Amino acid sequence: MRITAPMTITTKTPMMSDRFFITLSALAAALALAALLMVNILSGAPTSFLILTMVGATAYIALARLGDYDQVIPCDHIQSGEAAVGSFVLFVTSVFLTATPILPALVFAALLVYQLFLRAVISTDESELAVAGALAQGIIVAAVWFMITGGVPAAARMPEAILLGHQAVLPGPWPLAAAALSVAALVLCLSWALRPELGAWAQGPSFHGGAAGSRACVAAGLAITRALLATIALLFAGWTCGIVISLRKLSRGTRAAPLVFLFLLIFQQAVIMTARMAGVWYAAGCVLLFSYALFLLHIKKRTHRYDRHQKP
């Protein structure tokens, strides 16, 4: 027998002050973004390049959204080493291969393999994941260094491409950008529409209620989607995002979502501006610094997962 008695259902509705604050912040952020875009355009950055980096940022937002449901790899693609692995593949393939159409496919394949490695080998603890990512970055930097000192001709614009995106090596960037944007938008829509199912799935088998097979299918789907989005973000926006930890903390609630996207675009344009004014290496240093600083703040502020008796 079902309960039929009426009951007051309380749902979260933002207070007027929240709405006012979000609207005001969005206006301020839009103005700041417009100003940064203007500076970048005036400094000679091609408009097409700036638009393509925004496509990458959209994919990155979708990647951050997936992080809410993916308990295996919840931290940023810089800390988890995905950006390093993708960049290494791009570096190697750009040096040895001339057929650019297969570059995105190679990066995707490498990131998919790395996803499997992260899910099968690395602990789910964020700090251990970050240590593994830092190690991956170290190994890759060493490999690239040996290649360069060993006489492999590095492309002159390679550092810039790794930081700011590889749009130049993309075959037909606009159709590809449209496809990438569609994928990112589709992931965002699906993750929103299926948030109860994904939320239940993310809590583990004891709380999901689904069959083991369906759990494995969702896990595989997440790994593929994450690899795809990381590939898109890397190809279109390079390392210019890298602040997913703080994004995830801000992204609670639908009203805040556009604001978070604006903040990401501001960060990205600021990185591009730094690269154009101070050089790519300074900008790269800033991205890494910001990314790890936010990560450490997040880790330090966070209450331990559960108390010692309740560890999974």
Partner 1 sequence: MIDIKNLDLSIRGTTILSGISASFNDGETVGIIGKSGSGKTLLLKSLAGLAGRFPKSIAVNGAPLPRRKAEARKHVRYYGAGIPLNPDEGLHDFLLHARAPYKKAFRPYSDYDRQIADEYINLLGLSPFRDSALGVLPDGIFRLAMLAHTFIGEAHAIALDNPTNDLDIASVRMLKRAVGRYVMNGDHIVIISSNDLNFIAQAADRIIILDGGRVVGNGPVGILDQETIKRHFGTEVLISKNVYNGRPEFHLFPDI
Give whichever of 68 and 273 is closer to partner 1, judged by the CB atom: 68
Smallest separation, CB 302 to partner 1 (Å): 8
Q: Which of 204, 221, 258, 279 binds partner 1 (CB under 8 A)?
A: 204
222 vs 240: CA distance, rounded Å: 23
In this structure, what are the phi and psi dihedrals at residue 43, rounded to the nearest 5 degrees?
Answer: -80, 5
Smallest separation, CB 5 to partner 1 (Å): 9
Neighbouring residues of 82: CB distance < 8 A, sequence distance ≥ 6: 111, 114, 115, 133, 230, 234
User: Considering the rule CB under 8 A, would residue 299 count as an interface residue with partner 1?
Assistant: no
47 vs 32: CA distance, rounded Å: 17
SS (H, E, C) 214-281: HHHHHHHHHHHHHHHHHHHHHHHHCCCCCCHHHHHHHCCCCCHHHHHHHHHHHHHHHHHHHHHHHCHH
Helices and strands (H, E) in the chain, number of each type: 13, 0
User: Considering the rule CB under 8 A, would residue 182 count as an interface residue with partner 1?
Assistant: no
Give whichever of 149 and 309 is closer to partner 1, judged by the CB atom: 309
Contact 255, 44 (CB under 8 A): no
User: Considering the rule CB under 8 A, would residue 12 count as an interface residue with partner 1?
Assistant: yes
Smallest separation, CB 113 to partner 1 (Å): 24
User: Considering the rule CB under 8 A, would residue 127 count as an interface residue with partner 1?
Assistant: no
User: Considering the rule CB under 8 A, would residue 207 count as an interface residue with partner 1?
Assistant: yes
Q: What is the CA radius of gyration of the chain?
A: 21
User: Considering the rule CB under 8 A, would residue 16 count as an interface residue with partner 1?
Assistant: no
Smallest separation, CB 193 to partner 1 (Å): 5
Q: Which two tokens stand for residue 43?
A: 């400094």
User: Considering the rule CB under 8 A, would residue 212 count as an interface residue with partner 1?
Assistant: yes
Count of chain residues binding partner 1 (CB under 8 A): 41
Q: Which of 138, 199, 221, 258 binds partner 1 (CB under 8 A)?
A: 199
Give whichever of 249 and 276 is closer to partner 1, judged by the CB atom: 249
User: Considering the rule CB under 8 A, would residue 185 count as an interface residue with partner 1?
Assistant: no
Q: Which two tokens stand for residue 297?
A: 């703040």
User: Considering the rule CB under 8 A, would residue 31 count as an interface residue with partner 1?
Assistant: no
Contact 59, 180 (CB under 8 A): yes
Q: Which of 13, 98, 206, 254 binds partner 1 (CB under 8 A)?
A: 206
Q: Which two tokens stand for residue 80?
A: 């988890």
Q: Which two tokens stand for residue 75?
A: 């931290």
Give whichever of 149 and 206 is closer to partner 1, judged by the CB atom: 206
Smallest separation, CB 253 to partner 1 (Å): 11
Scanning 10-18, 94-102, 112-120, 162-170 for contacts with partner 1 by CB under 8 A, the matching segment is: 10-18
Smallest separation, CB 118 to partner 1 (Å): 16
Q: Which two tokens stand for residue 168?
A: 């130049």
User: Considering the rule CB under 8 A, would residue 303 count as an interface residue with partner 1?
Assistant: yes
DSSP 70-122: -SSS-S-TTTTTHHHHHHHHHHHHHHH---GGGHHHHHHHHHHHHHHHHHHHS
By CB under 8 A, the residues from 213 to 252 that bind partner 1 are: 214, 248
User: Considering the rule CB under 8 A, would residue 310 count as an interface residue with partner 1?
Assistant: yes
Contact 129, 122 (CB under 8 A): yes
User: Considering the rule CB under 8 A, would residue 1 count as an interface residue with partner 1?
Assistant: yes
Site residues (vs partner 1, CB under 8 A)? 1-3, 7, 9-12, 68-69, 71, 124, 193-194, 196-197, 199-200, 202-212, 214, 248, 302-307, 309-312
